[in-house]
Structure 1
Amino acid sequence: MFAPGHITGFFTIYKHSDKLKTGSTGAGITVDNGVSLELKEGRGNVFYNNERVDICAVEKVVEHYKKFGYNENYDIIFSSNFPLGSGLGMSGACALVLAKKLNEMLNLNDNYVEIAHISEVECGTGLGDVIAQYVKGFVIRKAPGFPIDVEKIVVGDDYYVIIEIFGKKETKEIITNEKWIKKINEFGNKCLNELLKNPTLENFVRLSYEFAVNTELIDDRILDVCNDLKFTVGASQSMLGNTLFCISKKETLEDAISILKSPIVCKVYY
């Protein structure tokens, strides 16, 4: 079972007493690299790329499904080309794919997407990844949380998404800080309004770059590489992480890859 990675270009933060209505607006793209899940008989351990880990959102999902008879006689095994904590929605992907698996395994009609979203919100690891990963594609989130209110844009197959991971960044430190929230919401709302007027991938990556620069969330190393990639459709930083993403057509793909040290080439995933 698989859930795609998610690149957030820009976002706004909304808090509500109802966790289902807590979330974010903004825009992002899902990619064909993400998380695969396997359950094996075991002792309830969680593994990510063969390393034993604690993923808060996964623990919350497990807690929920224990109420319906799930026992911990399984090891939960995730595998991915992406590391955790790099702004590619891996925590949300793990929560989503596990909730879907347990929902099916226990023959429930649970809204597993809501369970995964609540788990992320409670852990402070994400606000909109789960919704985008469920909808898939180039997704503009017009309202936070549930009910889901998105615009899904279909893009041509000639676009490539190149990813370069520079390191980790803790999402919780940003999305719980009032100073950051004010700045993020100011520029995030401007970008959302601009994208809705012209919902193209070119406009998305341009606005993503403006958001990253104006909020001062962009890493200096990523900023330098973005300038080197101006011959492509565009480049920016995935929110929230020290990860560069670049949108390229086929004719500029090889040149773009040659600039980067460890590029991961993806396509938009529907």
Structure 2
Amino acid sequence: MEEATAFVPGHLAGFSGVHRADDPTAAGAAGGGIVVSDGVRVTVGPTEESDLVVELNGEPVGFGAVSRVLKALRVPGARVEAETPLEPGTGFGVTGAFALGTALAANAAFGRALSEDELVTVAHGAEVHPLRLEPGAPAHNRIDGIPERCRVEYLVLDGPAELDAELPPPEESELRSGAAGRALSAVVQEPTLPVLMRASRRFSREADLLTESAREVVETVNRSGGEAAVAAGGPTVFALGSALSDAGYEAERTEVDVAGARMAE
């Protein structure tokens, strides 16, 4: 057995509803966002003993989703090393990307011979959190996309959100799901990036997710003629093109990723 490496792009969800189910592969979210070229690179290989060693950017971490993926793939022990410029808990889906990258790389390293859909299902069931028209893993959901590419800027405003947090209470879930459904309907009717951004801004207002600092940045960018929104999963404002820079903010730069999760060199 040799080590293998996979890359999973980050995902900035502009809107996301909550769907509960007893089966974790049927649970999840329906929503939409932007897949970006900044992501998580995961390398998996065997260890001398049946130990599990998990590191993120060279530091030991305890992501339960990673161990659940390896257990589902019947990997007794492995060394899992992930590298990313993204901070977990800031709205880029780092834990989900870590789980999917682990599934892809472990499948190759340990010769499990599973299909992409099967591996996505494993990762989804281990870490239940494109344009996702229906919630759940591939056997349950429907996914579509907007065929556009552009530069994306982002600005992390506050500290990271709590990782592995519980789902919001039912009343909050209902509020978010209703707002996400309306946002998704708008994008399905007119699948363009500007409409996605407007739908994301409407979602954050209706779901009561806007902090004062996020609201100020979004409104400043919009007054400057740009398109900005706040990520549904963390304290990050993202914008199309150079809108954040044009409005005077020192933002990070990336771009839309169209290749998706994949094996890497």
Q: TM-score, normalised by structure 1?
A: 0.84
CA deviation vs aligned residue, 1:222-251 (integer Å, no higher than 9, x gap): 1101111113541111111111111125xx
Please give the root-mean-square deviation of Cα atoms over the aligned residues, in Å.
1.9
Q: 1:39 to 1:232 in 2, by over 3 A?
A: farther
CA deviation vs aligned residue, 1:99-143 (integer Å, no higher than 9, x gap): 01111222223311100000012xxxx1xxxxxxxxxxxx22111
Q: Partner of 2:20 in structure 1?
A: 15
Task: Structure 2: give runs of 5+ residues left out of the alignment.
Answer: 1-5, 259-265
Alpha-carbon shift at residue 172 of structure 1 (Å)? 5.5
* Local SS of the residue matching 2:29: strand
Deviates more, 1:39-48 or 1:220-229: 39-48
* Local SS of the residue matching 2:241: strand
Q: 1:46 to 1:174 in 2, by over 3 A?
A: closer
Q: Point out the structure with the larger helix share.
A: 1
User: What code does the residue aligned with 1:77 have?
Assistant: E
| Equivalent position to 1:101, from 105, 109, 121 | 105
Cα pair 2:88 2:163 within 8 Å, conserved: no
* Local SS of the residue matching 2:33: strand
Cα pair 1:170 1:241 within 8 Å, conserved: no
User: What code does the residue aligned with 1:149 have?
Assistant: R
Residues 113-152 of structure 1 aligned to structure 2 (within 5 Å): 113-121=120-128, 126=129, 139-145=130-136, 146-147=138-139, 148-152=141-145
Cα pair 1:9 1:239 within 8 Å, conserved: yes
User: What code does the residue aligned with 2:113 have?
Assistant: N
Distance 1:77 1:187 in 2: 37
2:25 is equivalent to residue 30 of structure 1: no
Distance 2:69 2:174 in 1: 30
Task: Structure 1: give runs of 5+ residues left out of the alignment.
Answer: 127-138
User: What code does the residue aligned with 2:167 have?
Assistant: I
Alpha-carbon shift at residue 41 of structure 1 (Å)? 5.9
Q: 1:144 to 1:243 in 2, by over 3 A?
A: same
- Percent identity, please: 24
Q: Partner of 1:259 in structure 2?
A: 249
Cα pair 2:43 2:105 within 8 Å, conserved: no
Alpha-carbon shift at residue 60 of structure 1 (Å)? 0.8
Cα pair 1:23 1:144 within 8 Å, conserved: yes
CA deviation vs aligned residue, 1:151-200 (integer Å, no higher than 9, x gap): 22211x4x221111122113655633112101101111111111111111
Q: How many residues align?
A: 243
Cα pair 1:232 1:248 within 8 Å, conserved: no
2:214 is equivalent to residue 226 of structure 1: no
Q: Partner of 2:262 in structure 1?
A: none
Cα pair 1:47 1:78 within 8 Å, conserved: yes
Q: Partner of 2:177 in structure 1?
A: 185
Cα pair 2:15 2:180 within 8 Å, conserved: yes
Q: Partner of 2:54 in structure 1?
A: 46
Q: 1:2 to 1:172 in 2, by over 3 A?
A: closer
Q: TM-score, normalised by structure 2?
A: 0.85
| Equivalent position to 2:86, from 78, 82, 85 | 82
Distance 1:149 1:171 in 2: 26
